[in-house]
Structures are given as structure tokens and as C-alpha cells.
Amino acid sequence: MLNRQGRPTGPGETLGGEGSSAEGFATFTGHKGLELNEPLIFEIGRGDRTGVDVPEAPKVASRLGGLERKDPIGLPGLSEPEAVRHYTRLSRKNYAIDMGLFPLGSCTMKHNPRLNEKMARLPGFADIHPLQPQDTVQGALELIDTVAHWLMELTGMPAVAMSPKAGAHGELCGLLAIRAALEARGDAREVVLVPESAHGTNPATAAFCGYRVEEIPATANGRVDFEALKARLGPDVAAIMLTNPNTCGLFEPDIIRIAEAVHAVGAFFYCDGANFNAIVGKVRPGDLGIDAMHINLHKTFSTPHGGGGPGSGPVVFSEALAPFAPLPYVKKTDERFELVEHLAEGDKSFGRMVAFHGQMGMFVRAASYMMSHGADGLRQAAEDAVLNANYIMAKLKDVMTPAFEGPCMHEALFDDRFLKDTGVTTLDFAKAMIDEGYHPMTMYFPLVVHGAMLIEPTETESRASLDEFIGALGALAQAAKAGDKERFTAAPHFAPVKRLDETRAARQPVLTYKTPAEPGSVTTPVAAE
Amino acid sequence: MRYLPHMDADRRAMLADIGVEHIDELFRDVPASALLKGPIGTLPNHATELEVERTLVRLAGRNTPASAVPFFIGCGAYKHHVPASVDHLIQRGEFLTSYTPYQPEIAQGTLQYLFEFQTQVARLTGMDVANASMYDGSTATTEAIFMARRITRRKKALISAGVHPHYVDVAKALAKVTGDELVVGTPELTTGKPGGDYEALLGQIDKTVSCVVVQNPNLFGHVADLTELAEACHANGALLVVVVTEVVSLGLMKSPGEMGADIVVGEGQSIGNGLNFGGPYLGLFACREKFVRQMPGRLCGETVDADGRRGYVLTLSTREQHIRREKATSNICTNSGLCALAFTIHLSLLGEAGLRQLAEFNHARAVQAAERLAKVPGVEVLNDAFFNEFTIRLSKPSRDVVRELGHRDILAGVALSRLYPTETALHDGVVLAVTETVTESDIEALAKGLEEVLSC
């Protein structure tokens, strides 16, 4: 069987086949057909070359106060065609959702509609300044208010802070509000409880806010151990931070009981909303007793992740926390929208998290997506995401090992038991997926499962696409069990580079390019870890 | 539902394969009382592409774009021309729709441009290393203060009154919970001029200070040599943190590194990225090599693959939250990868020569504007030395003047009452930014407008 890239997926087939040029054949240039080696800009650019025609500066006497730069900076310049070619060539060394299924669990790689991109680039949104007079940005303020309205309706929460710039920034926002609320009632508390399966950002955020982090264990079926949690709750606990659906891809069935127990000791319930895309339109966090939750707009409402960001992490708040939410916010007065940027006398807001009003570009994309889907479509999207994950689980449960029993939400979690005694690790398995034309799933996370493989197909994969993926994973699992070890341990065979030495990168960090001819060009390694 | 591939027949067949009859059986862990059935509040159902486009175009049409009018607003976000090829390239699906490069073998495109970005930022700022970008300048500044605390094990930071007040507010909100002590001066329109704020800072540096935070050019546009401040910091075991909100200035001016800075943070929006009403922007973060393990955020490093060929990976992740959890240097997880890409492409197009020309043009145009405005009765230009931003004092309350000019379709700068509502001594001041997008006739329109508004 061949996959879409024309590569064999069956365990009995050879990797290259007769006459394969993949191994043992070197080209003169180092290029491989359409796969081109690309040097760094520092190797192809020149300091005196430019790809931008800047007009001649008017002749004036300089007023820089004698601070003119004397030495060259060392910035290479490219002509426009050189730049277009360089970055186009680099782009081809990336896997992307536009190219194929991208099953990174908890990262939610779904289709990014181009309408959103077109809307975000309208000059009325892209070319306005955050400090323009408010009369000249009424449409932008209305758009922020519209997205805020959708978020409040979908979560059943009465308030939202739009400014946090990413999910982890939203966590910070939520904990700062919780801390302010506790201080306002004269209640200093020291501990934040975090389930052991939590995203690493949760404990990092709690520690950043000055709290001591204590872990809550998981049960054998991947949920928060309610009895252990209840036993730990007390007057020193400021909050619990819980992800729901959790990082094992499971809904916490005890969530209402958890909220009640947390509130009973005067603590707050922070929900990590990274996985809100699984339940949007199906469950409102406000109905579960949650006090604060961030929403990763790029996950649930499809703003592109761009190789690491930007993100956007608005936070919804309960009545109890709403007064402590950060500035700025948009207020609707009659037929006008007003941006509140400063604290007034008696305000309880914890202050400001970011210079301006948040990720406007992401708000436009989210608005475009929300309107395109509508309430009915968003619910269907959540259902299809859950359907797809369970379909993968059902079809692969006999060849791979599901970590837990029962239905999952939007992501299917497997562990490495099916690789036992094969000599193939989760990492090897992931790298072999690259050869089959797929981005690997999330590996080794959540930490509560040994050799975890977390697969999130999302709602934008068709049944045919899922079947193809299932076929590839099934074939790999069988190949591992059949002892075809080389396929895995030397993988990837077909990526632009072979497996990279990450240990060396950490032991002898090379973090910037040094021109070889430069004196002192030998990179001094920073002290080894 | 144009984004959803399944037909109802697919859904039925898949449910049958799973072994359930209804989708809600897959939601059976959700408490029944909380499972929604009916419509969701007042939200509308799905709309066609045409309908969505009409709605959003209508909203966008109610805003005044910077390029439509004479435009002089800066204070942390700048209107520059971005070459068409920059936005075209970042929209390539392989960049736009890729994720954090966790699988380096199939993310070499992202990793290589991050490595190029780190090198460009390190060279621009005069530092040894830079990270692979952060949210924006304000959050990067706060992270720098906390990093200085980790390095010096001291909790007191001195912040110049010339640092953007929003940046100071962000630091204050977080310092409230971390216990850092922030000492911030009272801003004056002349803050940062020789003999101003920096003299006071010099007098306050002692062995309890973790860092001194200075913005250059500062909020009021003043530029200053920071060498003496750096020396005073180092004599006392403190670090100098330099904030740059207008990164184009580095094309013409001595770098913070040359002046002795230890950490340089900045807002990179000016290069490659549009105004976007405040975000997404691009946090720059660079430092001396010896501090690299205390740095927040992502780092990309060079290494080799199994065949010995050069390649790139994310590295030194033992500083980061996904490994270190509550002991991480920061909770930051996202970076501004796509904004960093735009920065890198634009800066590669400019190159050394182009960046210098651009910076020279910005400065020269700003000097022209300052000289012209100085001739307007009721206007006093307060800066001796500046790059492309300067402060004027008006004979009338600046907020009213800026609003009146706005009604005449001239966006004249930032009235300082907007940024400092309680500092009434600043309320006759306006900060103006003049970039390459400002024409001579724009300057003339502003000068004429000011003459009229100030004389009536």
C-alpha cells in the first residue's frame, strides 16, 4: 500500500524499493530534486545590498546628540527576488496543516480559513493605532465587544478580559484576579493545587504568582482523584487549576462536585480552557461552577499558529472575580463604544497585563470564524472533533494500546505498551510517522502515562483522511511488532534532515551565527548543563 | 458549515464503527444537567462567506486607517511601510499553518528563520544572544526585571520615568504578587534630557538594586548616552536593562550593547509588522551570553543531524515550563513566531544599508517636522536630541487640540493625558512620531492645523 506521497506503508515493503535514490546517492549540489539546501541569510546576503527602495533622506542637520552608530551592525541584505526565494525555500522544509493531518494532541491544528486572513488585513483593522482617538476606531471597539459577547455566551460567564496575549498569559490573568479577590477580603492563602496531568504552564503560572504548588494525583482512569483533592482542600488553598477536558482527553465527570468542594473552603476554581474546542456549544463552563477560564482563540476559533504564535488567551470570569479583571476593557454606552484604560477611584481591577488592548488581529480572525460557523456550526464542530477522536480510538484500539477505557473527548491517548519488547520507543514511532507523510502526535505527554501518544485529529479531517491515517498508524504498529526495527530507529529517512542531535545543541549552545572570517568566530560554548 | 467535511451519512457510519447510536453517548462524562440542547443564548447561526465579509468590512469601515490621513501617532507602536513581499511570504501555508517546531526534522523552515532572527536581534542590540521572540515589548520588559532579580538575587528595580507608562503598569501588576520593589520616577516632559531623570537614577543605585530600566529613545522621544548609567550599575553589581520601543532607531544609533547594557528588550512591531490596533506585536529579548540560562522564552540552536549535516532545534528547554514546571524561568509558552518571521524578512530586505537609509530618513523627516512646528505660535519643541519622536508643549490643553485636529482628519500624536491621566503637569504635552510614511505636505497640514486650532 502506498500513501499519498507514494511511499510504502506496508510492513513487508522496502523503504526505497528498486532503483531508489533515497540512500547512497549524492548529488553534486547537495540538493535533492525539489528539496533544496538553503544557506543562512548571513551566508548569501551582503551589507551593501538592499531589497527596499528607501527614498533619499532630506538634508538636515542631525539632532541625535552625538549618538550616531559608528561600527557596522552586521546585517545581511537581500534583493527582493533573493529574499522571496530564500523564504520560499525555507517554507518547504516545514510541515503544516495546509499540507496534511497534523495530529498534535492539545495543540489543535485545524483548518485555518483564508477568509479570516483576508478580514484581518482590512486596513480598518490592520492599519489602526492603539492610541488613535476613540472616535476614529469605533468599529474596532465594536468588534472587540462582539467577540467578548460570543465568549460570554458560549461559556455562560458574565465577564471577559480580552487583553491576555496567549493561553499561559491568560492563566496569569486568572490567577492575578484570584489573588486580588482573596486580598480584597483579607484572606492570604499560599497554595494552588494542580493535578499531575496538568500542562506545565499551570504550575509555572502559579509559582510566578507566588503560590506554592501542590500536585493532586490522578486516578487509574485518568481523572482527578476527587477523594485526594477533597482531603487536601483547606483554608490555605487559594485555587485549583484544572484542565477540562483534561490533558488525557477526558472530561472530568466529577467537575460539579469539585467546584462545590473548592468553593466550600473559600477557594477559587481556575479552569485551563485549552481544550474548550471539545465542548463549545455542548457545555458552558459557567454552569459547572468555574470562576475563571482562558480560551486559546487559536485552538477553538482557528487563528493560525504560525510556527509558534501569536496566540490569544481571553479569560472569562464569574461574578465573584469580574471586579478584579484587568484593564483595558470596552464599555458600551448608548450608541458609542468606550475604551477604559485607567483605574478610577475605588476600582478593584488588578491592573494592566499588556501595553495595549490585546491581540486585535486574532480577534478579527476569531470573529470571522465565529460568524462563519455560528452557534450551530460551533456545536457541530465540537461534536465532529469528538467523533473523529473516538473513531481513531475505536479503529486503533486493537493494534495500539489506549491509555484509558471508555470514550474520549477530542483527543485519543495511547501509551507505549504495544511497543513492549520491540526495541522501538515512542520517539522512534513518531519519527517513523514523518516518513509516512504525517506530523507526529504529541509525545510523552501527559506525564501520567508512560510513553504517551496523544492524537488530536480535529473536526476538519474527513473520514477518508482519517482512514488513511489509521491505515498508516496500524501498519507502523504491525511493523514494530514484526521486528522491522531499522524503519524506526533510523527514522526519519525522508525528512529534509535526519534525526537531529538535541543533546549537542544543549551542551554546546550555538544560538547566533558567527561569521567564520571574523576574529573570535570560534563559538565559546556556554557552561555545560 | 463549509469548514466541516463530514456528511450526515459519514457521521452515522462512524458512530456505528465506534459502537454508539448517538453523539451524546460520547459526551456521557458530562453531567446531564449541564449538557446543552437548545440554542445558545442570542448567538446567530452560521453565515455565508459573503455575509461575514460584509459585516466585517462594514465594521472596518468605521475606523480611520493610518494611511488615510496625515498620521503622527507613536508611543510604542509605529506606522512604517512594510514591503508587499513580507506579508505575502508569511502567508505561505507552510509558515502560517505550522505549529511550534517540536519535531525539528520537519520544521527546519521555522527553526532556521528563528535562528536568523536571533542573530539579527543580537547584532542590532549589541548583545551576544537573543531569544526566539516573546509577546510584546511590555511583557518582555517585565520579564527582564524578573530575570535581573534571579541573576542578582536582589528585588529592587529602579525604573526611569521615561519608560512607557503602560510597560510600567504591566511590571507593577506582576510585581505586586512577586514581591519585587519597583521604584519609578515622576515623569516630566524633559525626562531623559541631560541633567534630568538620569542624574536622580545615578544617585539611587546601590548594592540593593537589581537593575535600572531605561528606555531609549524614551517615551518623550529624548535620546541619551547610557554609558555612565551602565558603569554605575556595574560598580554596584546591578544590571542595566534598556528598553527600545522604536527598533528602527537602532539602524542609526549606537546600540544599547555599546553603551553597556546587560539586557535589551524591545518592541519589534516597527519592522515587518503592522499597527493592528495593538497586537499581535513582537517582543524582543537579548542579553549577555553569561545570562542565557536565566532567560525566559524559547531559544533555537544550531546542531547536526545523524549524517553530520547542519540543522536547528529548540534548545536549553530545561529553563522552560514544560520541563521545569513550577521551577521554570517564566510561564511563557507561546512565542510570536509569525511576527518574528515578518521582522526577519523585512530586515533581510532592508539589510545593513537599507536599515540605515530608513533610519536616516525617519530622523531627517522628524527633524524637518520639529523645525516646522517650532515656528507655530503656541508650540514649543522640547527635545534637543531625538530620533523620530519628540514632544511639543502647547499653549492650550493638548487633549482638546488633538481631538479638534482629529475632527479635521489629522491624527496629530498622543496627548499625554491619555497615557498619564493623573499627571496634570504633562497635560499640555503631545508626543509626535514622524516616520518615512509622513510627507512634507502632511507636516504642512499639521502645522497649519495647529496654527488654526491654537489661535482660535
**What pLDDT is stored for residue B56 in this prediction?**
98
Tell me how many degrees the CA angle B198-B202-B208 measures, rounded to the nearest 5: 130
- Would you place residue B136 in the very low, low, confident or very high pLDDT band (cuts 50, 70, 90)? very high
For residue range B380-423, what is the model confidence (pLDDT) as tens digits? 999 999 999 999 999 999 999 999 999 999 999 999 999 999 99
Would an 8 Å CB–CB cutoff place A158 in contact with chain B?
Answer: no
Would an 8 Å CB–CB cutoff place A39 in contact with chain B?
Answer: no
Contacts of B361 in chain A (CB under 8 A): 54-58
**What pLDDT is stored for residue A270 in this prediction?**
97
Position B348 pLDDT exceeds 60: yes
* CB atoms A129 and B411 under 8 Å: yes
Mutate to test the interface with B, among A29, A44, A54, A215 (most CBs of B within 10 A): A54
Position A11 pLDDT exceeds 60: no
Interface of A with B in 1-30 (CB under 8 A): none
Of B51, B92, B364, the CB nearest to A91: B92
**What pLDDT is stored for residue A15 in this prediction?**
46
Position A172 pLDDT exceeds 80: yes
Q: Residue A189 gets which letter from DSSP?
A: -
Of B44, B58, B99, the CB nearest to A102: B99
Beta bridge partners of B284: B266
Instruction: Give the 3-state secondary structure of residue A376.
Output: helix
Would an 8 Å CB–CB cutoff place B223 in contact with chain A?
Answer: yes
**What pLDDT is stored for residue A21 in this prediction?**
44
Contacts of A172 in chain B (CB under 8 A): 174, 331
Mean pLDDT confidence for A242-257: 94
Position A529 pLDDT exceeds 70: no
* CB atoms A386 and B76 under 8 Å: no
**What pLDDT is stored for residue B10 in this prediction?**
98
Mutate to test the interface with A, among B1, B2, B3, B136 (most CBs of A within 10 A): B3
DSSP per-residue letters across A105-174: TTT------HHHHHHHTSHHHHT--TTS-GGGBHHHHHHHHHHHHHHHHHHT-SEEE----SHHHHHHHH
Position B192 pLDDT exceeds 50: yes
Which DSSP helix (H) or strand (E) runs through B430?
A: strand B429-433
Count, residues in chain B: 456
User: Locate cell 546542531: which residue?
Assistant: B303
Cβ neighbours of B228 (radius 10 Å): 14
Would an 8 Å CB–CB cutoff place B268 in contact with chain A?
Answer: no
- For A456, the grid coordinates are 488530536
Position A332 pLDDT exceeds 90: yes
For residue range B51-94, what is the model confidence (pLDDT) as tens digits? 999 999 999 999 999 999 999 999 999 999 999 999 999 999 99
User: Locate cell 532503483: which residue?
Assistant: A19
Mean pLDDT confidence for B256-281: 98
Position B323 pLDDT exceeds 90: no
**What pLDDT is stored for residue A444 in this prediction?**
86
Position A38 pLDDT exceeds 50: yes
**What pLDDT is stored for residue B194 in this prediction?**
66
Lowest mean pLDDT among A219-223, B153-157, B297-301: A219-223
Q: How many Å lie between the alpha carbon of B207 and the closest alpha carbon of chain A?
A: 25
E strands, A54-112, in order? none
- As a whole number of angstroms, the longest Cα–Cα distance in chain B is 82
User: Locate cell 484587568: which residue?
Assistant: A326
* CA neighbor of A388 nearest in space, from A405, A413, A414, A412: A412
More confident residue, A210 or B80: B80
Indicate the average pLDDT of chain A. Answer: 92
**What pLDDT is stored for residue A524 in this prediction?**
43
Contacts of B402 in chain A (CB under 8 A): 133
Mean pLDDT confidence for A213-239: 94
Phi, psi of B346 (to 5 degrees): -60, -45
Mean pLDDT confidence for B325-344: 91
Q: Is this prediction's ipTM beyond 0.90?
A: yes
Mutate to test the interface with B, among A226, A284, A352, A379 (most CBs of B within 10 A): A352
- For B94, the grid coordinates are 507552510
Cβ neighbours of A381 (radius 10 Å): 27
**What pLDDT is stored for residue A18 in this prediction?**
45
Position B266 pLDDT exceeds 70: yes
Mean pLDDT confidence for B297-315: 96
For residue range B101-122, what is the model confidence (pLDDT) as tens digits? 999 999 999 999 999 999 999 9
CA–CA dist A526, A506 (Å, integer): 9
Report yes or no on whether pTM surpasses 0.80: yes
Contacts of B94 in chain A (CB under 8 A): 91-92, 94-96, 98-99
CA–CA dist A139, B62 (Å, integer): 5
- For A118, the grid coordinates are 483576508
Q: How many Å lie between the alpha carbon of B160 and the closest alpha carbon of chain A?
A: 17
Would an 8 Å CB–CB cutoff place A500 in contact with chain B?
Answer: yes
More confident residue, A197 or B246: B246
**What pLDDT is stored for residue A3 in this prediction?**
54
Position A504 pLDDT exceeds 60: yes
